């Protein structure tokens, strides 16, 4: 049996705009998905999700995901979850030149499903890594990130970017612009994550931004403005000392940019009442800045705050199910052990 784990992520800046070739800066966080893989003697694939929101499931199939587990989770999320595992299996088989390989797979995660923290990317990255290693074929992180992107691209009908999978495979902060992906050395930023217990429909939200951008020139300008925010934020990060704690001046300016970014994302229609409430609660509690992270529509916000203020305020905010500190994950995918996917993240919000 081989076990790999990979981190989730928050977007410091750039979600949605990255789909149109603008840069984005996601940062890996120490909330991990863990995938255990054991090769089988036949070509069957048996998947057990130890946690999927409040229920787990087990399903066995022979190369397709036509069978769906009966769990109390919206069907699109279940379909997507099964699709990601299936695509990861296909990529592992291809990489190891083992088209008939079968696997027993167990998935565990601290990362809320569909909430904007890169749960699917972490599962795909860890799954491909564990399956290829189990077949005796180790992938370089860059190839792993590329194969994971291809898996997400397939499941998301061509609307995926490389940001989530590259960040999960490499760890730390990264800069993604189209196919250009690279690491950024940065101080360890004090992230606080608020989670509303929900999940947005990524495909629907991306399609909505696309329609706005095609219909209104000012919506296209809004997308470009998000790219300008990313470039300014990248300049600040590159000028900072990665080996020292972040300065107050850096946090203040990054926070202002995060606030701008959230306003633009809200104008594009991808925020929600619960996300806005959490953003304002964090700001009122003294966060340097706060914004939604991921596709939006529900899920998570990220704030910059080194004090307990934002986390405490979020936990008393109506609509917020949980809030937690999130350390920068300096290590990406890794061969893991039984404790890798455990932490103080949202209870019962796994996968």
Q: Please write the tens of the pLDDT for every residue from 94-119.
A: 999 999 999 999 988 888 777 889 88
What residues are annotated to the active site?
Answer: 164
Of 67 and 280, the structure prediction assigns the larger pLDDT to 280
DSSP element (H, E) containing 175: strand 173-177
Q: Residue 295 pLDDT more than 80?
A: yes
**Over the chain, what is the mean pLDDT?**
86
pTM of the model: 0.85
Look at residue 128 in the predicted model and tell me its pLDDT: 96
Q: Token pair of 34, please?
A: 């863990």
Mean pLDDT of 115-132: 92
The domains located in the chain, with CATH, are 2-185+329-335 (3.30.230.10), 191-326 (3.30.70.890)
Element housing 58 (H / E): strand 55-61
Q: Could you report the per-residue pLDDT of 131-184, keeping only the tens digit for each?
A: 999 999 999 999 999 999 999 888 877 667 788 999 999 999 999 998 899 999
Label residue 280 by pLDDT band (50, 70, 90): very high
Q: Which residues of 221-249 are buried (b: 16+ CB within 10 A; e: fewer)?
A: ebbebbbbbbeebbebbeebeeeeebeee
Q: What is the mean pLDDT of residues 35-42?
A: 93
pLDDT tens, residue by residue, 242-259: 999 999 999 999 999 999
């Amino acid at each position: 049996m081989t076990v790999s784990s990979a981190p989730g992520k928050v977007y410091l800046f750039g979600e949605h705009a990255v789909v149109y070739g603008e840069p984005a800066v996601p940062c890996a966080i120490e909330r991990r998905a863990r995938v255990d893989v054991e090769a089988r003697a036949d070509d069957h694939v048996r998947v057990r999700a130890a946690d999927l929101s409040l229920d787990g499931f087990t399903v066995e199939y022979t190369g397709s995901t036509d069978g769906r587990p009966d769990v109390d989770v919206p069907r699109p999320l279940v379909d997507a979850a099964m699709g990601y595992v299936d695509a990861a299996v296909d990529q592992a088989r291809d990489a190891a030149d083992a088209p008939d390989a079968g696997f027993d797979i167990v998935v565990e995660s601290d990362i809320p499903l569909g909430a904007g923290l890169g749960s699917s990317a972490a599962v795909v990255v860890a799954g491909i890594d564990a399956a290829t290693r189990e077949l005796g074929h180790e992938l370089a992180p860059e190839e792993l990130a590329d194969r994971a992107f291809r898996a997400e691209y397939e499941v998301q009908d061509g609307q995926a970017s490389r940001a989530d999978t590259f960040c999960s495979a490499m760890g730390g902060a990264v800069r993604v612009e189209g196919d250009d992906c690279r690491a950024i050395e940065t101080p360890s930023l004090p992230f606080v994550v608020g989670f509303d217990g929900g999940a947005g429909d990524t495909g629907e939200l991306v399609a909505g931004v696309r329609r706005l951008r095609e219909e209104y020139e000012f919506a296209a300008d809004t997308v470009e403005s998000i790219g300008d925010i990313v470039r300014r934020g990248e300049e600040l990060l590159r000028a900072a000392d990665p080996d020292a704690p972040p300065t107050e001046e850096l946090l203040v300016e990054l926070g202002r940019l995060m606030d701008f970014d959230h306003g633009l994302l809200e104008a594009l229609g991808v925020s929600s009442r619960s996300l806005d409430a959490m953003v304002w609660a964090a700001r009122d509690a003294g966060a340097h800045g706060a914004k939604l992270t991921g596709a939006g529509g529900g899920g998570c916000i990220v704030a910059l705050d080194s004090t307990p203020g934002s986390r405490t305020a979020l936990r008393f905010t109506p609509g917020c199910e949980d809030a937690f500190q999130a350390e920068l994950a300096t290590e990406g995918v890794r061969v893991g052990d039984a404790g890798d996917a455990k932490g103080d993240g949202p209870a019962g919000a796994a996968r």
